[in-house]
Structure 1
Amino acid sequence: MNINWIRLVIRAAATFIVLFLLGYIVPGFSGLTLGRLAAVSLLVAVISSLVEMAVRPGSPRDRSIILFLVTAVVVYLYSLAMINVRPPVVSTLLAAAIVAGVDLVYPEKRPLAEGEREEGMHNP
């Protein structure tokens, strides 16, 4: 069970920034305070990582699809349960698509095994 902490932080940060900016534009997201945004961001990052460990997606596109679905469900249900506001479905899907797009653009770096070198490094 190997967790990519950098990807987890990037997912949480991307979710936080996207929802923060959409809070100024979309009325359904304006009830998310900074603490709630942090909670939703961490929840999305952790749940999507757990789903990825269970499903083991083969390509970056599959990872982005998982992240899109998890983000859409978590943001929508969190808004319904915690702030009693029904966010617009289109806005929730837009936020999920942006977060998944950011994750798709960021290249995955796997941790190096002991004694292994990065490609392109020619120093002895």
Structure 2
Amino acid sequence: MTGWVGAIVRLIVSAFVLLGIGFLLPGVEVIGFTNALIAAVVIALIGYLLESVLGEDISPQGRGIVGFITAAIVIYVTQYFVVGMAVTVIGSLLAALVIGIVDAFVPTQLR
């Protein structure tokens, strides 16, 4: 899938992953699919902005632990933009780990 359809599918899948993470992991709370979808959009935008400014080395696919920590920070910061989301520091680290594992099995070109 390419273009807008791929982007929409990626955001919907990301929203479901966030809902699952919120259900399974302590320290992560996402209330409802709409908030999960908004969180997925916010995470994508913050990630895009960081990669634009700091380069691809900052992405989770770029440099191992640096990318992992960056992903955790992005997830943690997202809670300040999404009303129905609450994340602890440990929760953001666990969420970054789970999202990284899911992304390894379902790789996408959209970043």
What's the TM-score bracket when you normalise by the shorter of the two chains? Answer: 0.5 to 0.7
Percent identity (aligned): 25
> How far 1:8 moved relative to its partner?
5.0
Determine the structure 2 residue equivalent to 1:37: 36
- Residue 77 (1) aligns with residue 77 (2): yes
> How far 1:16 moved relative to its partner?
1.6
Determine the structure 1 residue equivalent to 2:92: 92
TM-score, with length taken from structure 2:
0.58
Structure 1 residues without counterparts, runs of 5 or longer: 111-124
TM-score, with length taken from structure 1:
0.54
In 2 relative to 1, CA 9–25 (structure 1 residues): closer, same or farther, beyond 3 Å?
same
Separation (CA, whole Å) in 1 of partners of 2:71 and 2:101: 12
CA RMSD across the alignment = 4.0
Query: Of the two, which has the highest radius of gyration?
Result: 1
Report the residue type matching 1:40 in the other structure. A
> How far 1:48 moved relative to its partner?
1.5
Residues 65-87 of structure 1, C-alpha deviations (whole Å, 9 max, x = no match):
67644542233233356548753
Contact 1:24 1:30 in 2 (8 A): yes
Determine the structure 1 residue equivalent to 2:23: 24
